[in-house]
Amino acid sequence: MKDLAGAVICALVGLPSADRAELARAFAAGTAMTSMVRLGRPRLTPSQVARCRSVLADLTAPAVRAYADGDPSTVPGRMRELGLTESEALGAVAAFVLTGTETLVSYVPRLIALAIDTGWLARLSLDRTRLDDVVNEGLRFTVPSPVMLRSVARDAFVGGKRVKAGERVVIATISCAKTLGPFDPDRPHSPALRQLWFGAGAHFCLGMPLAYAEIRTVLETLLGLDGLSIVERRVARRVLIPAYERLVVRCG
């Protein structure tokens, strides 16, 4: 999954033919920036901002060249063709890079384990029309974005609780999503959730279609294999987003 995330990052910045070492470097660069975010700290320090700018500038350097070349087969070139300025294109690429790495690396193995443990992977092999139901329920049950941070724009009351402008709010997305109960793709989703794990309103995830494409790619690849079983699993410790440190799946 880290290789896949690195490959997507490389493709976004205009390096579609990167080798595995480049994939690892791209993934490491993305996580180096996201790992600086802390729940108890409202902003990055000046040194962290400088570090992030340096890493991002290095990571998106190929995107600058791809935008200048204007080749529509690259993501930056396609954005230029659609009328985005260089600044807008680089901003969009950076947003995809920063928001679509760690969550998918943690989520997809958990989805695969859930699908195998519950027998749903075998069911999907016979009926692929249920794939979206399994993916959406997997997202609801695992909640790859377990908390979200927001700043209060103006004084208000939320659920009877007064919040003041400038305060920081931690939204326990996992508590909201888990209220429906255990993993069950046959259960209709509550309209109240509305894919809350991707955010809402102006904060809704820009990279949701990209995330779904990556998830489906992996799941559909596995559906082409027979007799999948989990032979080893180890949970990651001391992480913000729950994940497997190691998940080994055997075919046949």
- Condensed to tens digits (0 to 9), the pLDDT of residues 126-153 reads 999 999 999 999 999 999 888 888 889 9
More confident of the two residues 246 and 32: 246
Mean pLDDT of the chain: 87
Instruction: Tell me which amino acid residue 39 is.
Output: L
User: Is 100 a residue whose pLDDT tops 70?
Assistant: no
Residue 79's pLDDT is what? 93
User: Is 240 a residue whose pLDDT tops 80?
Assistant: no
More confident of the two residues 38 and 11: 11
**Strand intervals (E) in the chain:** 148-151, 156-158, 161-163, 168-171, 229-235, 244-250
Contact yes or no for 211/100 (Cβ under 8 A): yes
User: Is 161 a residue whose pLDDT tops 80?
Assistant: yes
Residue 139: which of 201, 203, 200, 208 has the closest Cα? Answer: 208
Q: Across 36-50, 94-108, 207-221, which has the greatest mean pLDDT?
A: 207-221
Residue 230, Cβ density class (10 Å: 0-12 exposed, 13-18 middle, ≥19 buried): middle
Q: pLDDT-based confidence at 68, cuts 50/70/90?
A: very high
Separation of alpha carbons 38 and 21, rounded Å: 29
Residue 192's pLDDT is what? 76
Average pLDDT for 41-55: 86
Instruction: Tell me which amino acid residue 222 is.
Output: L
Residue 95's pLDDT is what? 82
Q: Which helix (H) or strand (E) holds 153?
A: none
If you ran DSSP here, which 8-state letter would residue 188 be given? Answer: P
Q: pLDDT-based confidence at 232, cuts 50/70/90?
A: very high
Percentage of the residues of the chain whose pLDDT score is greater than 70: 98
Q: How many CB atoms lie within 10 A of CB 206?
A: 14
Separation of alpha carbons 42 and 39, rounded Å: 7
Q: Which helix (H) or strand (E) holds 246?
A: strand 244-250
Average pLDDT for 38-55: 83
Separation of alpha carbons 113 and 236, rounded Å: 14
More confident of the two residues 135 and 103: 135
Residue 73's pLDDT is what? 87
Average pLDDT for 89-117: 86
3-class DSSP state of 33? helix
Residue 127's pLDDT is what? 92
Give the start-to-end residue ranges of the domains of the chain: 1-99, 102-225
Enter the CATH code of domain 102-225: 1.10.630.10
- Condensed to tens digits (0 to 9), the pLDDT of residues 167-204 reads 888 889 999 898 889 999 998 877 778 788 888 888 88
Separation of alpha carbons 89 and 100, rounded Å: 16
User: Is 118 a residue whose pLDDT tops 90?
Assistant: yes
